[in-house]
Amino acid sequence: MVEHASTVVMSAAKNKSLRRAVFLALQTARDGDRVSRIVDTFLVTLISFSIIAVILESIPSVEVRYFDQFFWLEVFTVSIFTVEYALRVWASIEDPNFSGFSASNLKNRLRFVVSAHAVIDFLAILPFYLVMFGIFGNVDMRFLRAIRLLRILKLTRYSSAFDMLMTCCQENARSLGASFFVLLTVMLLAASGMYFFEREAQPVAFGSIPAAMWWAFATLTTVGYGDVTPITVGGKIFGALITVIGIGMVALPTGILASGYAQQIKLRSEQYRAKAEEALDDGILSATEKTDLESFRVELGLGKHTASQILDTRMVRKALRRELADNFCPHCGHTVDRSNGSTTG
């Protein structure tokens, strides 16, 4: 009985160790992490080849000529992505972001499954299985094959810039939602007004509010295709007013995103500054500390020039502090004459 319990404990420990190793291997690589670097390079290369294949496959002549090659590349690609997805789900409970919600591993894994990156990974393999098992019968499945281009979103996992943008959108979700609600409201008012002015003069283009929505969308987004335009005096005046309002409507979410992105850059600069301050605490920047700082800079997505300025500023301040500490007496605060060791008031 005791031996059986001991075997179970050892098996669980080995399983946890293997799961931890898988989790670390699938994480975005850092400097010195050779296994993760190899996995990342392989997956990024495979994603890139898959996207190129999807694009080339849309050319009828190329698809006919290289049909078999495209098919087996897709089988290989989806097989790898399926194994990757399964391993990520299995090892997700090692991630602190998903392991602290519940004591149940199943619930924590379900939380990972509905996360943004996991949904993208699932959508990357879903079209293949829908086509292979004929879920939609004889319906033309080319539109499903085109959805495979969503695989390009898998690259966001390996890009700090995309990660920063996603964080920015999450942090400003309420503000963005409010701005889009205002845009929708103005769009409905614009469509209703144009329907009122133009319904008799242009019954096809503005014969109903839903029909007038196309003009409202094109105008408020400042695209202005010109395929539908007002011809009555009232419609032209109203249209000019909506055009001016449209400039502000587009600037609203753009300003929110720009402000949020700038804030993220500022926060990450502060994180790097704190890390640099810690590394320079002893006044010396060792080779190991330089490597760690460079890895942290890449992880944060900061430019080399920005990081260099932060480091230079911190090093200058440290040097000034040491100089002040050497030239002033710590007890009386007077200047120390290093030539004879005396102090001056």
Q: Where in the chain is the domain with CATH 1.20.120.350?
A: 2-158
For 5-46, what is each residue's pLDDT tens digit? Answer: 455 445 555 667 888 888 888 887 665 678 888 888 898 899
Query: What letter does residue 139 receive in the DSSP assignment?
Result: S
For the chain, how many residues are written? 345
* Structure tokens, 161: 């810039």
Distance CA 318, CA 276 (A): 11
For 155-174, what is each residue's pLDDT tens digit? Answer: 777 777 777 777 788 888 88
* Fold exhibited by the domain 159-345: Helix Hairpins (1.10.287)
Superfamily of domain covering 2-158? Voltage-gated potassium channels. Chain C (1.20.120.350)
> Position of tokens 């810690």?
278
Q: What is the mean pLDDT of residues 219-228?
A: 78
Distance CA 81, CA 131 (A): 16
230 in helix, strand or coil?
Answer: coil
For 312-326, what is each residue's pLDDT tens digit? Answer: 776 666 655 555 455
* Structure tokens, 275: 């890390």
- For position 103, what pLDDT does the model report? 64
Query: What letter does residue 342 receive in the DSSP assignment?
Result: E
SS3 content of the chain, % helix, strand, coil (to 5): 80, 0, 20
CA angle, 105 then 109 then 113, to 5°: 170
Q: How confident is the prediction for the chain on average, in pLDDT?
A: 78
Distance CA 191, CA 219 (A): 10
Residue 137 phi, psi (nearest 5): 70, -130
Query: H helices of the chain, where?
Result: 2-26, 34-57, 60-65, 67-91, 96-99, 105-113, 116-132, 142-146, 160-171, 173-198, 203-206, 209-220, 233-279, 287-300, 304-327
Given pLDDT bands bounded at 50, 70 and 90, which one contains residue 176? confident
* Structure tokens, 164: 């920063």
- For position 107, what pLDDT does the model report? 83
* Structure tokens, 322: 């040491």
Distance CA 287, CA 180 (A): 49
Q: What single string gives the DSSP state of each residue in 54-73?
A: HHHHTSHHHHHHTHHHHHHH
Q: By C-alpha distance, which of 110, 72, 70 is closest to 92? A: 110
Given pLDDT bands bounded at 50, 70 and 90, which one contains residue 226? confident
Q: By C-alpha distance, which of 14, 144, 24 is closest to 74? A: 144
Q: Where in the chain is the domain with CATH 1.10.287.70?
A: 159-345
* Structure tokens, 328: 């002033």
Name the residue type at position 96. Answer: P
